[in-house]
Amino acid sequence: MRSEDLSIAFIGGGNMASALVSGLAGKLCPIGNIHVVEVNDDLREAWRARGASVSAEPDEALANCQVWVYAVKPQVMKAVAIATEPFLRDSLVISIAAGIRAADLARWLSATRLVRCMPNTPSLIGAGISGLAALPGTPDADRELAGQILASVGEVVWVQEESQLDGVTALSGSGPAYVFLMIEALIEGGLAVGLDAAQSRALALATMSGATRLAAESNELPSLLRERVTSKGGTTAAALAVMEQDGFKATVVRAMQAAADRAHEMGDEFGN
């Protein structure tokens, strides 16, 4: 399919929908081929100003779109799916709602072509990563197209079992919050050891960014990179000893398990 022939509907026009459209517009799909269903008046006007067609409620425009992207909160997904189902013909359905299982969404929509995705907030600047899983029987061409859409805002990782998306949610979906918390801690630590706020922020951000880039571009394991920074009896060793004593890594693992458990619970809670 030529990009100028592809039409995409976004059900929900918030931040993640905006990020995806910014990534794919002009590449996979012209902005004029995008239809957005959004209840908020201001957001609808913003989409209209960008050149997309808009509606406050599901309408026949949905029936003409080859791809539907559900970008609404999981708490309202069932109601939204039921409201949009009458307009579904043979479109590829993509869901970016946390916790909502593919089988439940497929049941509400009577859909057979469905890909469930878990993007993260760095997608807002084109630096995201998304986990994807397809409903069994979804054609390879649909998988490829869904991957291309999510790749417009960052990297993509396919998982074999949909249940693994709970782990994706715990790692990369919630992960930016863990990183932001670490940045907060580094800034507070900088203040505690005598640096001012501007110095602490600049040093913390550059350290996190630089270390992540080094890990990404190196062929060595993060554990080896850590060891190379850590001289016996030195300053880094002293700091890491405190972290080890306080169970830093174990705390992160427990936190991720809590996030994965909550993602599973949300599937049960909102999938009835």
pLDDT (tens digit per residue) in 194-236: 999 999 999 999 999 999 999 999 999 999 999 999 999 999 9
Q: Which of 163, 189, 217 is the last residue of a domain?
A: 163
| Residue 73 known to bind ligand | yes
Q: Is the pLDDT of residue 253 over 60?
A: yes
Identify which of 226, 246, 248 has the alpha carbon closest to the alpha carbon of residue 237. Answer: 226
Residues 53 and 21: their CA atoms lie apart, in Å, by: 13
In a domain, 149, yes or no: yes
In a domain, 213, yes or no: yes
- Whether 248 contacts 242, CB under 8 Å: no
Same domain, 27 and 149: yes
Same domain, 124 and 20: yes
In a domain, 40, yes or no: yes
Residues 182 and 54: their CA atoms lie apart, in Å, by: 40
| Residue 64 known to bind ligand | no
* pLDDT tens-place string over residues 9-41: 999 999 999 999 999 887 888 999 999 999 999
| Residue 122 known to bind ligand | no
| Residue 154 known to bind ligand | no
| Residue 74 known to bind ligand | yes
Q: What is the mean pLDDT of residues 146-154?
A: 96
Measuring CA to CA, how many Å separate 96 from each of 201, 242, 246, 271? 32, 39, 36, 15
Q: What is the pLDDT at residue 107?
A: 95
Same domain, 151 and 18: yes
Q: What is the pLDDT at residue 11?
A: 97
> In the structure encoding, which two tokens stand for residue 184, read together?
């907060």
- Work out how many domains the chain is built from and give that number: 2
| Residue 12 known to bind ligand | yes
Same domain, 146 and 214: no
| Residue 14 known to bind ligand | yes
Please state whether the predicted TM-score (pTM) of the whole model is above 0.75: yes
Domain coverage including residue 191: 175-263
Q: What is the pLDDT at residue 80?
A: 96
